[in-house]
A and B are shown apart, each in its own frame.
Chain A
Amino acid sequence: MGYFLLRRTAGFIATLLVVSLVVFGIMNVLPGDPALTILGLDATDDALAALRTQLGLDAPVHLRYLSWIGNALQGDLGQSHSFRVPVSGLIAERLPMTISLAVAGMLLTIVIALGLGIGAAARHGGPGDWGVMFLSQLGIAIPAFWLSILLVLLFAVKLRWLPPGGFPGWSDPVAAMRALLLPTIALALVQSAVLARVTRSSALEVMRQDFVRTARASGLSRRRTLWRHVLPNALVPIITIVGMQFAALVTGTIVIENVFYLPGLGRLIFQSIANRDLPTVQALVMLFAAIVVTANFVVDLLYVVIDPRLKARA
Chain B
Amino acid sequence: MNLTYRPATALGLILGLALAGTGVAAAELVVGMQQEPTTLDPTADATASIDAMLTQNVFESLTIVNESGEVEPNLATGWEVSDDGLTYIFTLAEGVTFHDGSTFDAEDVVFSFDRAMAEDSVNPSKDIFKTIKDVRAIDPRTVEIELSEKDAFFLFNMGQGDSAIVAKETVDTNATDPVGTGPFRFDGWTRGDRLTLVKNPDYRDAGDVALDRVEFRFISDPAAATAAMMAEELDAFPGFPAPELLPQFEADPRFNVNIGSTEGEVILAMNNAKPPFDNPDVRRAVATAIDREEIIEGAMYGQALPIGSFYPPHGTAYVDLTDAYPHDTAKARQMFESAGIAGQTMTLRVPPFPYAMRSAEIIQSQLAEAGIDAKVENVEWGFWIDEVYKQKNYDMTIIAHTSPNDMGNFARGPDYFYGYDDPQFTALWNDIQTEADPERRNELLRKGQQYLSDQSVHAFLFQLPLLGIFAKDVEGYWASSPVLYMPLKQVSKGG
B354-396 with Cβ < 8 A to chain A: 380-383, 385-387, 389-391
Q: Is A261 an interface residue (CB 8 A)?
A: yes
Count B interface residues, CB 8 Å.
47
Contact A38–B227 (Cβ < 8 Å): no
Q: Is A40 an interface residue (CB 8 A)?
A: yes
Contact A169–B124 (Cβ < 8 Å): no
Knowing A165-B228, A263-B190, A275-B382 are in contact, say whether A44-B127 is a contact too (CB < 8 A).
yes
Q: Is A197 an interface residue (CB 8 A)?
A: no
Q: Is B323 an interface residue (CB 8 A)?
A: no
Per-position contact with A for B334-366: 1 when CB-CB < 8 Å, else 0? Answer: 000000000000000000000000000000000
Which stretch from A25-33, A185-193, A234-242 is at the chain B interface? A25-33
The complex places the Cα of A165 from the Cα of B229 at a distance, in Å, of: 11
What A residues does B219 contact at CB under 8 A? 165, 261
What A residues does B401 contact at CB under 8 A? 41
Per-position contact with B for A272-314: 1 when CB-CB < 8 Å, else 0? Answer: 0111110000000000000000000000000000000000000
Q: Is B175 an interface residue (CB 8 A)?
A: yes
The complex places the Cα of A258 from the Cα of B224 at a distance, in Å, of: 8
Q: Is A112 an interface residue (CB 8 A)?
A: no
B202-240 with Cβ < 8 A to chain A: 217-221, 223-224, 227-228, 230-231, 233
What B residues does A71 contact at CB under 8 A? none
Q: Is B403 an interface residue (CB 8 A)?
A: yes
B379-436 with Cβ < 8 A to chain A: 380-383, 385-387, 389-391, 401, 403, 406
What B residues does A261 contact at CB under 8 A? 193, 217-221, 224, 228
User: In the complex, how many angstroms separate the beta carbon of A233 from the nearest chain B beta carbon?
Assistant: 44
Residue of B nearest to A162 (CB): B231
Knowing A39-B124, A47-B122, A50-B121 are in contact, say whether A165-B192 is a contact too (CB < 8 A).
no
The complex places the Cα of A164 from the Cα of B219 at a distance, in Å, of: 11
Which stretch from A13-21, A134-142, A152-160, A208-216 is at the chain B interface? A152-160
Which stretch from A4-12, A82-90, A99-107, A118-126 is at the chain B interface? A82-90
Which stretch from B38-46, B61-69, B464-472 is at the chain A interface? B38-46
What A residues does B39 contact at CB under 8 A? 82-84
Residue of B nearest to A163 (CB): B233
- With beta carbons under 8 angstroms apart, the residue of A36, A38, A263, A271 that contacts B193 is A263
A40-67 with Cβ < 8 A to chain B: 40-44, 46-47, 50-51, 53-54
Contact B223–A32 (Cβ < 8 Å): no
Residue of A nearest to B391 (CB): A31
The complex places the Cα of A51 from the Cα of B118 at a distance, in Å, of: 13
What A residues does B123 contact at CB under 8 A? 47
What A residues does B36 contact at CB under 8 A? 267, 271
Q: Is B314 an interface residue (CB 8 A)?
A: no
- With beta carbons under 8 angstroms apart, the residue of A46, A54, A169, A275 that contacts B126 is A46
Q: Is B102 an interface residue (CB 8 A)?
A: no
Knowing A50-B120, A261-B193, A261-B220 are in contact, say whether A32-B386 is a contact too (CB < 8 A).
yes
Contact A39–B176 (Cβ < 8 Å): no
Q: Is A94 an interface residue (CB 8 A)?
A: yes
Per-position contact with A for B172-185: 1 when CB-CB < 8 Å, else 0? Answer: 00011000000000
- With beta carbons under 8 angstroms apart, the residue of A33, A157, A167 that contacts B231 is A157
Q: Is A117 an interface residue (CB 8 A)?
A: no
The complex places the Cα of A156 from the Cα of B225 at a distance, in Å, of: 12
The complex places the Cα of A268 from the Cα of B125 at a distance, in Å, of: 27
A76-98 with Cβ < 8 A to chain B: 82-85, 90, 93-94
Contact A36–B126 (Cβ < 8 Å): no
Q: Is A259 an interface residue (CB 8 A)?
A: yes
9 pairs of A and B residues whose beta carbons are closest in the complex: A40-B46, A32-B382, A263-B192, A31-B386, A263-B193, A82-B38, A164-B227, A39-B124, A51-B122
6 contacts between A and B (CB under 8 A): A30-B383, A43-B124, A165-B227, A261-B217, A263-B193, A264-B192
List chain B positions with a Cβ less than 8 A from chain A.
36, 38-39, 45-47, 119-127, 175-176, 190-194, 217-221, 223-224, 227-228, 230-231, 233, 380-383, 385-387, 389-391, 401, 403, 406
